[in-house]
Amino acid sequence: MQACLQVRSLQFFHGCKHDIAGRTALLDLEVTAPVSEPVLARLSQPDGLPGLAPAEEMPDIAGRDWVAPLLVGGRGRAALADLSAALVVLLQLRARVPVHKGQVLEASPARIRLALPWQRQQLFRNATDLMIALLTPDTAEAEISQHLTRFLEQERRGGLAPNSMRFARAAMDRDMPVTVLNQQTLQIGWGARARRLRSSFTDRTGSLAEKLARDKYFSLQRLKQAALPVPEQRFVRTPEQAREAAAALGWPVVLKPVALDQGRGVHVGLTSDEVLIRAFHAASDLQDQGVLVEAFVPGDDHRLLVVNGRMMMAARRIPGGVTGDGKQTVDALLDQVNADPRRSSAPRSLLIEIRRDDEALSCLQEAGLTPDSVPEAGRFVPLRRTANVSTGGTAVDVTDLVHPDNRVAAIRAVRLVGLDVAGVDFLCPDISVSYRTGGGAICEVNGQPGFRPHWLSAPDRDINGEVLDALFAGQPARIPTAAITGTNGKSTTAMMLHHIWQGTGKTAGVCTTVGTWIGKDKVDSQNLSGLPGAELLLGDPAVEAAVLEMPRLGLIRFGQACDRYDVAALLNVQNDHLGQNGIETLEEMARLKSGVIRHASTAVVVNAEDPLCLQAVETTTAPRRILVAMDVATPALAAHLEGGGDGVFVATRDGADWIVMARGRHHVPVMKVADIPATMGGLLRFNVMNAMFAIALADAQSLPGDAIRTALAGFANTREKSPGRYNMLDGFACPMLIDYAHNDTAVAELCRVVRALPVTGRRLLALQILGNSGPHKLESSAAHLLESFDRIAVLPDLRVIRKYGYFTGDDPEEEMRQLSRATLIARGASDGQILTGPDSDALVDQMMHAVRPDDLVVLMMAPQAAFGHVDRLRIRDGARG
């Protein structure tokens, strides 16, 4: 049979693309055969394929239409495309991998393009293959069910536990970020606001409390000392001690391992030495830490869920068994019970299959029945001695029936053990009657309680979501985020905003092309800008706010760093990196970078002097738009302010230039330009603009004005705060300036600044940015360079040469040197004005050897290379800089 769909291409991105809230896969499908309407209609229904969308696992999509809830914005463009996208999402969810919604990008009779979430690439590929099989015409339903069964058996091995999966989905429903740290542990939220869960263990579940809860003997002794109702117990290690304990307590008794859960090894209602000894050996075989013999407490078994000192839910657990109808045998009734699709032998099933084993036969014998007996209608016949769901039981909700005394006792018990989330096993004849009058006892306090009793007893209640609400206590799960993109100024603006955040007393993180900082600590010197740095910062519990530089290449390779930012800025779009990675024009570059501000939820800040930035701002949905320009008369800014909008500009007041924030006609001076050391008294126009953007972003994040002014007044172009950005160094034979001017606009501005500096001697340049990538940038900047510098040393950089691949001969470095020299001479340089050589260190040394105190040396190169030379010179010459 011919498949209806064929994969044409598949790309995986680790960031967000096309409004997918997480890792995004772009799936391109060719429609190779028609899919009949009956097939589409059948699969679109929850009961169209057994086990596809079971209500007990996914109650939120258990209605008639399960497709729309799994797609961004509801339905897409065509039934086949909708169903294809939703199936791939659903199959990943069924593998217990938390993924967000998918989206149909294009749908035609011949082609379907989808943007879909993913967590594991192989799982996604397998889900896609299964989706195609499900949609293939004439495939037998039995065969499809087999495919689904095999898929789940294989893929769930790498998935979450059911409780963790429900927590993840509850978090996503609440717009809380979810990160799977490993197969068992979730991080919900970001940075300092995040919580971590391993099933119902949380990051605040104390290890001592958990150990106390597991030690059933000592935990109950603790409760007994606190006057709480507990059954009488004896801790024993030998069969003889068990007999003595049972005699002292009085028959019947309960025997259980001292440190196991889920009802493993528990034997209830023992009435003789013979069965006691068998039970002792069975329990001892499971663990060798000792056994408890416990007085039998008559009544029903209840599980009370307590979270942060509040009882949230209670369920009465019912042992696995059958209910007679007066017609069928116990065996037939058991077959009916086990036919429930929710039951299986898998330990993580919602309901567990009840086996015809020795325990079942023993229970029947005590009830005076055999497997062939026909119980009267309405008679419940237990086939298990314990009421644990993990041993085949089920549950009914009794939350509203719990007597206040019983509720208080459960809460106190959890508090005494020290757990934040706990399940209290409460035995009593009637949970609505106080244990003080009706009897009852707490037999266990469980850390990491399973929630299956509550899912079964109240399937419409989102108990995992309610627990999350209690854990976060009304606090947001997200930390403040700011994303900054553009061609020039990203790193400096990001560092300025980070410095402002630090001035508020918060621990802020920032990732840039020159490093990543948490607070004042530089935690990585690599270029982690974009997604890699965001993952580092948002995963660190110390980080209270994150500032993210979003570079061109990171956006292409990864996508957006997260599903949304609070605020975002687009600084400018300049002629840089065109012709690389599929970006050929400025308009294409603007579209790429405008995706950052489209992901802002609160405010965007854009350059009112840049037409491409102004076009981009029209694509955003953020409620606040702040325009930035040097001059308030800039047409776009003036019109924006006239309409009551927000802006930042420079205005002269009392003979000094001030940065001013405005809303409409209401103008507020923020600070003098000259008070910001990074502007060098206003000479560095780029840094004036960078400071204005930082001020606008800080205001959009509601940071106080005093913190803004104090931080920027203390922000200088130092190696620590702004490496490679107009760093002026003293202590050498002459002043030295470092700047990473890597494109035409930045080179022109650096040359303007160099000409404006009060230099009485020569201006000397060590150039390692231009030339190595080819002659084009050197050609376009040659006039500025030759006008500004008396001598230029062109330094080889084999790494850059190899990266761009322009020079392909046997000696690419020599090719670069010859072509660079020829290019500059062709633009008017004298032969003696150009210095070249095979060794960068030797060229810098040659230049520094000839300098005079009134000269200026400029290192136009990447920060790491520049400071490598600086440190080497400092060690060699004992310089102070």
Top pLDDT among 46 and 608 is at 608
Q: Is the pLDDT of residue 61 over 80?
A: no
Report d(CA 435, CA 635) in Å as an integer: 78
Q: Is the pLDDT of residue 78 over 80?
A: no
Sheet holding 178-180, edge to edge: 178-180, 185-188, 195-198, 201-202
Is 179 among the domain residues? Answer: no
* Same-domain status, 395 and 346: no
* Same-domain status, 838 and 744: yes
* pLDDT tens digits for range 164-215: 999 999 999 999 999 999 878 999 999 999 999 999 999 999 999 999 998 8
Q: Give 287's pLDDT tier (boundaries 50, 70, 90).
A: confident
461 secondary structure, DSSP code: S
Residue 380: strand pairing partners: 323
Task: Give pLDDT, residue 804.
Answer: 80
Report d(CA 849, CA 843) in Å as an integer: 10
Report d(CA 302, CA 300) in Å as an integer: 6
- 18: containing domain: 5-159
Is 722 among the domain residues? Answer: no
* Same-domain status, 315 and 330: no
Q: Count up the domains in the chain and report the number.
A: 6
Of the candidates 515, 467, 469, 475, which has an alpha carbon nearest to the alpha carbon of residue 491?
A: 515
Task: For residue 69, give every residue at least 6 positions away whose Cβ sits within 8 Å of its Cβ, in sequence order, or none.
Answer: 60, 61, 101
Question: In angstroms, how far is CA 446 from the centroid of its own chain?
Answer: 29
* Start-end of H helices in 611-704: 611-617, 635-642, 685-700
Is 657 among the domain residues? Answer: yes
Angle between helix 775-788 and helix 812-826 axes, rounded to 10 deg: 50
Q: Is the pLDDT of residue 791 over 80?
A: yes
- Is the N-terminal amide bond of 252 cis, ω within 30° of 0? yes
Provide mean pLDDT across the span 571-580. Answer: 77
Task: Give pLDDT, residue 758.
Answer: 94
Q: Give 881's pLDDT tier (boundaries 50, 70, 90).
A: very low
Is 194 among the domain residues? Answer: no
* Same-domain status, 695 and 746: no
Here the CATH number for the domain that contains residue 765 is 3.90.190.20
Here the CATH number for the domain that contains residue 536 is 3.40.1190.10
Query: What is the amino acid identity at position 815?
Result: E
Top pLDDT among 10 and 781 is at 10
Top pLDDT among 382 and 59 is at 382
Of the candidates 768, 800, 797, 770, which has an alpha carbon nearest to the alpha carbon of residue 783?
A: 770
Task: For residue 233, give every residue at least 6 positions away whose Cβ sits within 8 Å of its Cβ, in sequence order, or none.
Answer: 217, 220, 221, 292, 293, 294, 295
Most confident range (mean pLDDT) of 436-440, 717-721, 840-844 is 436-440
Quick one: 109 exposed, middle or buried, by C-beta within 10 A (0-12, 13-18, 19+)? exposed
* Same-domain status, 440 and 561: no
Report d(CA 709, CA 671) in Å as an integer: 6
In degrees and rounded to multiples of 5, residue 367 shows phi and psi of -85, 0
* Same-domain status, 678 and 549: yes
* pLDDT tens digits for range 602-654: 999 999 999 999 999 999 999 999 999 999 999 999 999 999 999 999 999 99
Is 698 among the domain residues? Answer: yes
Task: Give pLDDT, residue 39.
Answer: 79
Task: Give pLDDT, residue 9.
Answer: 97
Provide mean pLDDT across the span 684-701. Answer: 97
Domain stops at, among 159, 184, 216? 159
Q: Is the pLDDT of residue 561 over 60?
A: yes
C-alpha distances in Å from residue 93, one per residue of 61, 119, 169, 201 = 11, 10, 9, 22
Task: Give pLDDT, residue 577.
Answer: 65
Report d(CA 370, CA 372) in Å as an integer: 5
Task: Give pLDDT, residue 744.
Answer: 85
Task: For residue 192, give every residue at least 6 positions away whose Cβ sits within 8 Å of its Cβ, in sequence order, or none.
Answer: 479, 507, 541, 542, 543, 544
Q: Is the pLDDT of residue 879 over 60?
A: no
Report d(CA 70, CA 102) in Å as an integer: 6
Is 198 among the domain residues? Answer: no
Domain stops at, among 351, 384, 417? 384
Quick one: 730 exposed, middle or buried, by C-beta within 10 A (0-12, 13-18, 19+)? exposed
* pLDDT tens digits for range 383-405: 998 888 888 999 999 999 999 99
Q: What is the mean pLDDT of the chain?
A: 92
Provide mean pLDDT across the span 147-171. Answer: 92
Report d(CA 259, CA 283) in Å as an integer: 10
* pLDDT tens digits for range 91-139: 999 999 999 999 999 999 999 999 999 999 999 999 999 999 888 877 6
* Same-domain status, 605 and 545: yes
Report d(CA 597, CA 586) in Å as an integer: 17
Terminal alpha carbon distance of the chain: 75
* Same-domain status, 114 and 14: yes
Is 187 among the domain residues? Answer: no
Q: Is the pLDDT of residue 796 over 90?
A: no
- Using an 8 Å Cβ cutoff, are 15 and 561 in contact? yes
Q: Is the pLDDT of residue 77 over 60?
A: no
Angle 442-447-448 from CA coordinates, rounded to 5°: 130
Residue 421: strand pairing partners: 307
563 secondary structure, DSSP code: S
Provide mean pLDDT across the span 560-582. Answer: 86
Domain stops at, among 664, 684, 713? 713
Helices and strands, number each (H, E), in the chain: 29, 38
For the ranges 60-74, 677-691, 698-712, 729-743, which has the lowest average pLDDT? 60-74
Is 168 among the domain residues? Answer: no
* Same-domain status, 513 and 367: no
Q: Is the pLDDT of residue 589 over 90?
A: no
* Same-domain status, 621 and 704: yes
Percent of the chain topping pLDDT 70:
96
The sign of the CA dihedral 523, 557, 552, 114 is negative
322 secondary structure, DSSP code: E
* Same-domain status, 135 and 9: yes
* Same-domain status, 750 and 864: yes
